[in-house]
Structure 1
Amino acid sequence: MKNYSFISLVSGLLFGVGMVVSGMVDSSKVTAFLDVFGDWKIDLAFVMGGALFVFTPMYHFVIKPRQKPLDQSTFCLSNKKTIDWKLILGASLFGLGWGIVGICPGPALASISILNIDLLGFIVAMIIGMVIVQKFQHKIV
């Protein structure tokens, strides 16, 4: 196993463990966090703040100075500089789904590790939706 594959594996494991330990895979906890005008539970803000606290120095001292990623010849960055209707629609649908269900792709996949069968339908529907959009995206103007 190459070094960058090992780093990716460890990073993914840390991400998944962090999702489970922090409660980000608990949809009721997420919807309580999103319920700002109701019985708001702010604890997930500390999870996000903690992530930024760790990521920010790593970005500035490890990621940003690099000319290329460890396993690629160049960074794969979008050159789009405009906000279009696809971005707005996609972000709106993502936010709507997250707000209604209280789960998004990362935590949904991390929930597999704790055998959360309740989210299996969500994961299957998410994958089907991704495949449909990928297949028909060129037809969407």
Structure 2
Amino acid sequence: MLAPVVSGLLFALGLGLAGMTRPTQVLAFLEFRDPALMLTMGAAVAVTGLGFPLLLRRARPLLGPRFLLPTRSDLDRPLIVGAVLFGVGWGLVGLCPGPALTGLVAGDPRQWLFVAAMLAGMFIHQRLERSAS
């Protein structure tokens, strides 16, 4: 139980230190006006790219019974539509779920509105999925 809490706090701290909770800085990054987030994302990709293969050499995770890896590798319509919606939303308002949740502690009403809209979208999607099946 402690590992997910510590991981979440470290993730939130990293997002805050990198400036990803400030929509204006994210939008500047997306418009190629501020390279700071590019360096942050590049470092994250490098650490993941180098570390993940090393990690998978282990028989099991340090704090779990087994690795939980995706079993699918295909690209289906819901994945593509979701990725497009994510990208459009991120580009329009400069927020995505992780930084928005982290930014709630700042009390910015725009981030609270974003999270409320995100939760409403998740609820609507769940209802649509249930009615389709």
Give the percent of matched residue pairs that are identical in Structure 1 and Structure 2: 37
Partner of 2:15: 19
RMSD over equivalenced CA pairs, Å: 2.2
* 4+ runs deviating over 4 angstroms: 138-141
Partner of 1:89: 81
1:47 matched to 2:43: no
Q: Distance in 2 between matches of 1:140 and 1:88?
A: 19
Q: Distance in 2 between matches of 1:129 and 1:20?
A: 25
Q: Distance in 2 between matches of 1:25 and 1:15?
A: 12
CA separation of 1:128/1:20 partners in 2, compared to 1, >3 Å: closer, same or farther? same
Q: Give the CA deviation at 1:95.
A: 0.5
- Structure 2 counterpart of 1:125, which letter? A
- When normalised by structure 1's length, the TM-score is 0.79
Q: Give the CA deviation at 1:52.
A: 2.8
Q: How does 1:1-141 map to 2 (within 5 A)?
A: 5-36=1-32, 40-61=33-54, 63-69=55-61, 70-71=63-64, 73-139=65-131
Unaligned runs of 5+ in 1: none
Q: Distance in 2 between matches of 1:125 and 1:77?
A: 29
- Structure 2 counterpart of 1:24, which letter? M
Unaligned runs of 5+ in 2: none
- Structure 1 counterpart of 2:45, which letter? L
Secondary structure of the residue that 1:97 maps to in structure 2? helix
Q: Distance in 1 between matches of 2:21 and 2:45?
A: 19
- Residues 2-48 of structure 1 deviation map (CA, whole Å, 9 limit, x = unaligned): xxx22222221111011111110110111111114xxx222111111
